[in-house]
Every structure is written in C-alpha cells, then in structure tokens.
C-alpha cells in the first residue's frame, strides 16, 4: 500500500484492494482512503484488478497486466484530483474534514446542511452509479433507486417528514418500513427483504465513512422464505417443443425460452449471449459466458435441442452486436410466455425464470447429473443454492413413489 502524507496538515491518502469483494473473475475493486487530521473517509476508484498483478508498494497495476495502461492512468488522474481538491479546500481557509474532501472530489455539494438520510442516500446512489457494471449490476442500481423512493414515501406517509437524520433511524422504524413495503407497496416477504438489504448497504457505507458509529440493522432479522420453484415436467417440456407458434414473435420467445431450459441461462444472460461465447471443443459445443447478475463464470455443454435452436437461429435473420437472440424486454417476454403456455395447454403461468428451474430439475438432476456439475453450469457461487433444487427433486421422487406404492396396494 503506497501512501502520501503532508505532516503539517495531517493529510494522507492511500490505495487498497477490497479483497473481501473478490469477484468470480478473480478481480477486486480498488479503493482510495484518505485522512484529514483525525477524520477518515474512503471512495471507490471505479476499477477492478487482479490482486496478483497489483504492486502495493507503488499502488499501480503491473505492466504485465493488459489493463495496466488504462487503470494506471485512471489512478494517476484521481491522485491529481485529490491534490487539486485538497489544495482548493486549504485555500478557502475553512475547516474541513475527510468527508468534505471526498465530497469535493466526487462533485458533491459541500453544504453542511446535507445531513438527512435521503440526502445521504442520494450521494450514495451518485457514487454507485460510477461503478455500475464493475461492482454492481444495472438491475441492483435500479432497485436501489426504487427503495430510496419507497423510503421517502414511507417518511411522508407514516411519519409526516420529508427526511430524517440517520442517527434517528432505529430498530422500530426499520421494522415499520418493512411492514410498509409489505402492506402499502404490496411486496412479498422476499422482495421486501432484498430491498431492506439495499437500505442496509447505505448504512454500511455511512459507517465506513465515519458518518455513523452504529448499525441500526444489528438486531433486525432479514430472513428469506424458501419458495416453491415452479418448473416444467418432461411431458410439459415435450409438449412445448412440438407446439407450433402462429407468428414469428412468439416463435422467437419460445426458442429463447427452450434454449434456457437446456442451458440454465437466465433471461439477462440469454439476452446478452454472443456467438463469440459459443465455442467448439472436442466433440461438443460449449457456452462459456459470465453471469450478469453475479459475475460468476458459466461453462455449459450444449445439448442437441439447444444446439439445434441456435443453428436454426443462425441461419435466419442477422442480429446486431453478434448476439445470438433478439428478444424483447423481460416484462414483454413473460407476457408472451403466458400466450405460449395457453397455446401449449400448460396450466402453469410461464415465466422466463421457470426455464432455469426446469434445467436444474427436469433436464439435469432428474437425469442423474451430479449436483456439483449442475451448480457450476448454473453459475452458483455456493452449492447450497443448488441444493434447493435437489430438495424439489426429492419431493417429486417421493410423490412418484407414493403413487407407485398405491398401485401395488390395489393389486
């Protein structure tokens, strides 16, 4: 870790790698932390690097790394910005702390009245917007904006306030906000819990900055409920395959859905899939991609039905940006799937994510594919996530054997 210090003003800054945020590709984000007198603060620099290529003594990326020119230039630029903003604040001859310096670098108002939670939430969102696609996904950022809007609505409706100081947010208020999400915003438990986690992320950031000392979430239990994962049975999947679609619009959605059933890719990963991510190796064709949601890698051998779908797609219309599929938004695709389900006489309400569940159960686990292999193909970070599907399979086997037992009892 390289540090620069000015003893006369007790100002110093240094770079460090957030190794606890290590991504599946082996990279972790670079942070800048600085100190002004007794105050401390930190900020993301907007780049991720391989720890093995990071030279901590000079705080630079090794020239052996292909990303070094861009990353090192970004670090030099930010260092220059730190000095410029520090010198500017010194020239104003006003008292300032590390948080003020950080806000100045980020172009955030220095108004000392910015102490409300919603105002701080806005600053958090502004900083997070810089690392969309690096530390967080676009979807997560949009959800953070949404929960900020809900919290503002909660304050106005329930407390008749336009804002609130972070130190005044306690266990009771957070539990009431959870109830507000459930009742007033009609969110399911799991959706409400995920939104609460996004609020907690803001508090963690405020604690790291030194704005808060205690976490109000410390006694708040955020427990997700295990939900039944709907999937297509082998009979339903076969029925869908053989059902002709009345138009090209539904046919494209059906192809993308079936491809997901045989690969386990989510909607976002199918939507972004490129031909360059499909490789021939040995006797098989593989999909080698990175999950948009988690950044984990997925290596999936293409089963014949999936291979046939993309071959048919390749011989059809040319799609821009080297993409394999040209499909509408997730919302529209799910609406079209309802039409497709009706045409195929499938009573279950089809959603695109059901295809991923179908791959995990009907296509793989029920055909004796080891759960470790299924977990890797799904791009799960933890095996326990995949074990949810194993429990579904166990329940189905129990149900099937119970039916068989009844047949023997009647003979």
Query: Do 211 and 123 fall within a single domain?
Result: yes
The pair of structure tokens assigned to 55 is: 């030279």
Q: For 150-203, what is each residue's pLDDT tens digit? A: 999 999 999 999 999 998 999 999 999 999 999 999 999 999 999 999 999 999
Query: Do 100 and 176 fall within a single domain?
Result: no
Could you give the strand order of the β-sheet that contains 297-301, starting from the edge strand earlier in sequence? Answer: 278-281, 284-290, 297-301
Query: Do 379 and 349 fall within a single domain?
Result: yes
Query: Do 260 and 361 fall within a single domain?
Result: yes
Task: Please tell me the predicted confidence (pLDDT) of residue 108.
Answer: 64
Query: Do 170 and 258 fall within a single domain?
Result: no
Query: Do 298 and 360 fall within a single domain?
Result: yes
Query: Do 54 and 120 fall within a single domain?
Result: no
Query: Do 245 and 214 fall within a single domain?
Result: no
pTM equals 0.59
Domain final position from 225, 248, 269 = 225
Beta bridge pairs of residue 259: none
Whole-Å CA distances, 231 to 74, 84, 267, 328: 46, 57, 15, 22
Q: What is the distance, to the nearest Å, from the Cα of residue 195 to the centroid of all Cα atoms in its chain?
A: 13
Q: Exposure string (b/e) for 217-253, b if CB count within 10 Å is 16 or more? A: beebeeeeeeeebebbeeebbeebeeeebeeeebebb
Domain final position from 225, 248, 278 = 225
Task: Please tell me the predicted confidence (pLDDT) of residue 144.
Answer: 94
Task: Please tell me the predicted confidence (pLDDT) of residue 8.
Answer: 45
Q: For 248-307, what is each residue's pLDDT tens digit? A: 999 999 999 999 999 999 998 998 898 989 998 878 899 998 887 777 778 899 999 999
Query: Do 31 and 86 fall within a single domain?
Result: yes
Residue with tokens 């984990």: 296
The total of other beta-carbon atoms located within 10 Å of residue 268's CB is: 16
Domain total in the chain: 3
Query: Do 242 and 375 fall within a single domain?
Result: yes
Helices first, then strands: H and E counts in the chain: 14, 9
| Domain of 84, in residue numbers | 1-110
Domain final position from 90, 110, 130 = 110
Task: Please tell me the predicted confidence (pLDDT) of residue 150.
Answer: 97
Q: What is the DSSP string of 28-78?
A: EEEEEEEEETTEEEEEEEEEEE-GGGEETTTTEE-TTSTTHHHHHHHHHHH
Query: Do 247 and 216 fall within a single domain?
Result: no
What is the domain-level CATH number for residue 332? 1.10.443.10
Q: Which residues of the chain have pLDDT under 50?
A: 1, 5-8
Query: Do 338 and 211 fall within a single domain?
Result: no
């Amino acid at each position: 870790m390289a540090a620069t210090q000015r003893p006369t003003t007790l100002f110093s800054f240094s770079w460090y790698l957030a190794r606890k945020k290590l991504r599946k590709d082996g990279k972790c984000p670079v942070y800048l932390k600085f100190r002004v007198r007794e105050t401390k603060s930190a900020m993301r620099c907007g780049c991720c690097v391989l720890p093995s290529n990071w030279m901590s003594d000079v705080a630079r990326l090794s020239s052996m790394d292909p990303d070094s020119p861009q990353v090192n230039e970004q670090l030099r630029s930010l260092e220059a910005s730190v000095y410029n903003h520090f010198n500017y604040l010194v020239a104003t001859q006003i008292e300032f702390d590390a948080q003020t310096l950080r806000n100045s670098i980020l172009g955030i108002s220095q108004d000392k009245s910015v102490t409300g939670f919603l105002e701080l939430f806005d600053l958090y969102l502004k900083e997070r917007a810089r690392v969309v696609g690096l530390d967080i996904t676009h979807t997560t950022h949009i959800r953070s904006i949404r929960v900020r809007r809900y919290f503002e609505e909660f304050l106005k409706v329930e407390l008749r306030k336009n804002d609130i100081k972070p130190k005044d947010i306690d266990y009771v208020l957070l539990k009431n906000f959870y109830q507000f999400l459930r009742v007033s915003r009609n969110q399911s438990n799991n959706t409400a819990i995920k939104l609460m986690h996004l609020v907690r992320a803001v508090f963690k950031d405020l604690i790291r900055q030194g704005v808060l000392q205690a976490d109000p979430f410390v006694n708040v239990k955020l427990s997700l409920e295990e939900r039944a994962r709907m999937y297509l049975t082998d009979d339903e999947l076969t029925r869908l395959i053989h059902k002709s679609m009345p138009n090209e619009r539904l046919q494209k959605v059906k192809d993308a859905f079936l491809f997901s059933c045989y690969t386990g890719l989510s909607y976002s990963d199918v939507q972004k899939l490129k031909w360059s991510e499909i490789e021939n190796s040995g006797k098989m064709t593989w999909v080698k991609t990175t999950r948009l949601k988690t950044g984990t890698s997925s290596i999936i051998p293409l089963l014949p039905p999936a291979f046939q779908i993309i071959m048919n797609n390749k011989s059809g219309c040319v799609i821009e940006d080297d993409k394999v599929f040209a499909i509408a938004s997730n919302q529209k695709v799910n609406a079209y799937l309802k039409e497709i389900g009706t045409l195929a006489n499938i009573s279950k309400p089809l959603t695109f994510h059901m295809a991923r569940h179908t791959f995990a159960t009907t296509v793989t686990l029920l055909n004796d594919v080891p759960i470790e292999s299924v977990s890797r193909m799904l791009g799960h970070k933890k095996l326990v996530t995949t074990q949810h599907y194993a429990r579904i399979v166990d329940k189905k086997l129990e149900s099937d054997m119970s039916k068989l037992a009844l047949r023997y009892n009647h003979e």
